[in-house]
A = this chain, B = another copy of it.
Amino acid sequence: MLVGAIEAGGTKFVCAIGDKENQVIERVSFPTTTPEETLAHVFAFFDKYEVEAIGIGSFGPIEVNEASGKYGYILSTPKLAWKNFDFIGAMKARYHVPMGWTTDVNAAALGESIFGAAKGLTNMLYLTVGTGVGGGAIVDGRILEGIGHPEMGHLLVKPHEHDHYAGFCPYHGNCLEGMAAGPSIDGRLGVAGKDVDPDNAVWDYIAYYLGQAIVAYTVILRPERIVLGGGVMKVPGLLNKVKRSFETLLGDYVPVPASDSYLVLPGLEDDAGITGALILANQQL
């Protein structure tokens, strides 16, 4: 018995075939171009197999509300060719199997909760800090979605007293994403994060914003662990700064696991999303 999985990223697509233990049997990857061209690659891959379900973790925003007429669509993305694209509709027209549909970060959260750094935990959160900030949560073993999927990166934050950057988010300026995602570093210093000294004060600012956000996730969701992924989190020392910032800001009010086990780097690295999409496929059966 085989299942299929798609990690639909804004830059590249990963497609995989797996078994019912979520082991990858074959995988391919190709750039995200137009929906027509990209789906042609997807079809060429899946046509070779007989899959019994497909799981998709997609860049967003997407419609996940099954009561909506736009369920399965990509919504108002800045990638204009994909805006209002009926992704699940296109897939269902070709493959008559059950399909799981969620965001890329929700899929990554699911993957990390089953096989990664939060293995076996039923209440956890996955946050990625890269070109944007996004997150997905597992609550009681299930992906958290209300009338739509979370937008964890658009929390409002208090500016650091020494940070005069206005933020790059086109909607909120200085929300978490606007102040802590990769482009904010270039916005402040004119160079990419990878070229900035780990002792630069900018990492203290970013740790301050992430600490505030982690307080919010903590008091609202009370997860057992938070996995911090994405390129920005690979900066040496940043995870420790985030832990100290979080501890100071939380002020010992809510009991949380010791921060070394509470705030951790991913276990699956770049495989979290496709692994989660495979799990999602198997959950449809």
Contacts and interface: CB of A to CB of B under 8 A. Distances in A.
Main secondary structure of the interface of A (DSSP, over half): loop
A21 interface: no
A81 interface: no
A268 interface: no
Contact of A254 (B151, B219, B223): B151
A145 interface: yes
Contact of A222 (B147, B221, B254): B147
Contact of A142 (B140, B155, B249): B140
B146 A221 contact: yes
Residue among A220, A252, A253 having the largest count of chain B Cβ atoms under 10 Å? A220
Contact of A123 (B147, B152, B154): B147
A58 to B, nearest CB: 17
A12 B146 CA distance: 34
A149 interface: yes
A221 B251 contact: no
Interface string A207-239: 000001001110111111000000000000000
B224 A221 contact: no
Given A171-B253, A251-B171, A146 B222 contact: yes
A145 B222 contact: yes
Interface of A: 61, 123, 137, 139-140, 142, 144-159, 171-172, 212, 215-217, 219-224, 249, 251-255, 257
